[in-house]
Amino acid sequence: MIIAANLKTNFTRKETEKYVNELESYIQTKNITQEVLVFPAMSSLDSHDGKVIIGSQNAYATQNGAFTGEIGTEQLEEFKIKTILIGHSERRHILGETQEELVKKFNFYKELGFKIVYCVGEPLEVRESGNEKMMEYISTQYEGIDTNYENLIIAYEPVWAIGTGLTPTSEDIESIHTDLKNKSKAPLLYGGSVKVTNAKEVLSLNNVNGILVGSAALYVEHFCTMCNYAQEIENKNKENI
């Protein structure tokens, strides 16, 4: 499974280093073989030797150049970063990134072989307009995206569930994930108010291949526990084969 922490605009460089080191040591000690990703704030990006994979929350589709406020591959290469988050709802809705821009970014980083965590998800008013409209809306977020890309991970994150403490029911998550799996066989994460208290249940659902965690991941011990849950579930699944 894939367990990802989106640290957003939190932690200084020093705090992030401490966070990643604590997480790394937990994963080593507990022999966790799940894929663990951390997306720190841009100014806290750094090289990391170990099992934890560091990814960038964003980057411009460029090597370098005149793009004030952005970073490109030159800055990512410095830290050997080959993982990127694209299409997060905060970038779509707060920063105003369009599907067209996201596709451009996706294709650029795909060409470079990056592992791409691509986020999709509907706002509340779309959710309230019924299942058919909701699936149509989410489908538009797949437009222009190579759903067969080998290093693709998709994260389904309902916008209304992000940072709100609200989550869809387990039945809803399972049914949406089952529908989305018809669009792409890529690993599919669920994100939106995942906490230690619900992570185990979410990770156990059919067609959920991992979680993308924001607020609750800021507590390193909580995030470690979630990594452990994923390991336990995977071990159990293996026993049952």
Please identify every residue annotated as catalytic: 88, 157
Q: Which stretch binds ligand PGA (CB under 6 A): 121-129, 187-195, 196-204, 226-234?
A: 187-195
35 near ligand PGA (CB under 6 A): no
The site string for ligand PGA over 215-234 (x = CB under 6 A, - otherwise) reads xx------------------
For ligand PGA, the closer of residues 6 and 16 by Cβ is 6
Q: Which stretch binds ligand PGA (CB under 6 A): 15-23, 123-131, 190-198, 233-241?
A: 190-198
Separation between Cα atoms, residue 234 and residue 172, nearest integer Å:
22
For ligand PGA, the closer of residues 83 and 193 by Cβ is 193
Tokens of residue 160, six digits: 């209304």
Residue 103's nearest CA partner among 63, 147, 135 is 147
State the nearest-atom distance from the C-beta of 202 to ligand PGA, in Å.
11
For ligand PGA, the closer of residues 8 and 133 by Cβ is 8
Residues 39-66 as b/e (b if ≥16 CB within 10 A, e otherwise) read: bbbeebbeebeeebbbbbbbbbbeeeee
168 near ligand PGA (CB under 6 A): no
36 near ligand PGA (CB under 6 A): no
For ligand PGA, the closer of residues 73 and 193 by Cβ is 193
Q: Is 92 exposed, middle or buried (0-12, 13-18, 19+ CB in 10 A)?
A: buried
Taking CB atoms within 8 Å and a gap of at least 24, the contacts of 102-105 are 103/143, 103/144, 103/145, 104/61, 105/59, 105/60, 105/61
Residue of this chain nearest to ligand PGA (CB atom): 214
The position carrying tokens 């694209």 is 86
Interface residues toward ligand PGA, by CB under 6 A: 6, 157, 162-163, 191-194, 212-216
